[in-house]
Amino acid sequence: MSNFSNIGFNVTTQEKFQRLLNKAYRTSNTIKVDEGAYSIYTDNSGAELYFQFDKANTCIGVNPHFKGISKRTVCLINSLERPESEFDGAFHCWAAPLEVNNPDSGAYPFIFDLPDFRTIGQIGFPKNYDIQLTAFAQELSIYNSEKEYNDSQKTELRWAIQSFVPGGLFSFEEKDSNPPQATGMFTGVIKQFERKRNELTKEEFYWLLVDTLGGETDVVADIRFFERAPVVKGIVQGVFWLSGQLINAPKRGLNGNKTFFQKLFGR
C-alpha cells in the first residue's frame, strides 16, 4: 500500500505505473511557474496527480493529492524547501489558532506538504489561513464506536478520541540532516465516509471526513486497510502523510499553457 494506492492508483510494476501516468497526463491541465510547470490530473473521485516539469520540459516528479471538503484554520509560521525537488515544499504551522496571526494561541504545531507549492505567492509570516488537509493513511485502525475504541486501549497511555501527535516534527532541530516530515498520528471521529472509485484505474478506496483535535481532515485509505466498512460516529486512528492546500492562497505569475508540453507525450 502507498500514497498512490490510497486514492486508487494501485499499480504493481514500474511499466504499468508509467502507462498510467501517460494516460493521466493526457487529460491534465498545466500551470506555468517560474521553475517550469505543474500539470494537474483531477479525477471525478477527487484523486489528483501533480506532475512536475522543469524548464527543459522534463518530467522530474509526480505527487498525489485528494481534493476533499475539509476546512480548518491554521497559523502559518514558515515555509520549508524540500531537497527531493525544487517543486516540493511544505508549511510549518499551528492548528486552530484562537487569535489572528498568533501561533502561540494554537493547539499544536505540525507540517504539511503542498502539491502546488511553487504556485503560492508571498506570505508574511505569521499568517492565519484556511486550508484543506488530506491525510494519506500509512497505518490505520477503524472502530465502530467510542466504547470499542476505548476497550481496545490496553496500555497505560490511553489516547482521547480526538488527539494529534505531530510526529514529523520530532527531528525538527536536526533539519539539516533529517528535514521535518509532513506526518502525524491522530485519532478522530468519522463524520462522513464514501467508498470511492478512481475513474482512471477503476480501483476503489475509502474517503472519510474526520473530526480530530484542531479541525476536520479528509482521510484517504487503500481499501485493503479495511476488514469492514467504517460507520458514521466511528473512530479512526492511524499514522498519516499530510498533504494540504491553502484556500484562497496568494498566487504568483500563473499562466495556463497546454502547448508547452505537447511534444513530450505526442499531443
Mean pLDDT, the chain, integer: 91
- pLDDT value for 264: 39
**Average pLDDT, stretch 182-191?**
97
Cell match 496527480: residue? 49
Q: Work out how many domains the chain is built from and give that number.
A: 1
**Average pLDDT, stretch 180-196?**
97
Rounded-to-integer distance, Cα 116 and Cα 226, Å: 30
Examine residue 18 and state whether it is found in any structural domain, yes or no: yes
Per-residue pLDDT tens over the stretch 86-97: 999 999 999 999
Examine residue 216 and state whether it is found in any structural domain, yes or no: no
Q: What percent of the chain has pLDDT over 90?
A: 81
**Average pLDDT, stretch 250-255?**
68
**Average pLDDT, stretch 5-16?**
90
Domain of residue 14 covers 5-65+250-261
Examine residue 56 and state whether it is found in any structural domain, yes or no: yes
Per-residue pLDDT tens over the stretch 13-22: 889 889 999 9
Examine residue 175 and state whether it is found in any structural domain, yes or no: no
- pLDDT value for 48: 97
Query: At residue 152, does pLDDT exceed 70?
Result: yes
Examine residue 73 and state whether it is found in any structural domain, yes or no: no
Query: At residue 155, does pLDDT exceed 90?
Result: no
- pLDDT value for 176: 53
Query: At residue 154, does pLDDT exceed 50?
Result: yes
Query: At residue 258, does pLDDT exceed 80?
Result: no
Examine residue 14 and state whether it is found in any structural domain, yes or no: yes
Per-residue pLDDT tens over the stretch 45-88: 999 999 999 999 999 999 999 999 999 999 999 999 988 899 99
Query: At residue 217, does pLDDT exceed 60?
Result: yes
Is the previous residue joined to 230 through a cis bond, with omega within 30 degrees of 0?
no
Q: For 9-13, 125-129, 236-240, which range has the lowest pLDDT when averaged over its residues?
A: 9-13
- pLDDT value for 108: 97
For the chain, give the secondary structure using H, E and C.
CCCCHHHCCCCCCHHHHHHHHHHHHCCCEEEEECCEEEEEEECCCCEEEEEEEECCCCEEEEEEEECCCCCEEEEEEEEEECCCCCCCEEEEEEECCCCCCCHHHCCCEEEEEECCHHHECCCCCCEEEEEEEEEEEEEEEEECCHHHHHHHCCCCCCCCCCEEECHHHCCHHHCCCCCCCCEEEEEEEEEEEEEEECCCCCCEEEEEEEEECCEEEEEEEEHHHCCCCCCCCCEEEEEEEEEEEECCCCECCCEECCHHHCCCCCC
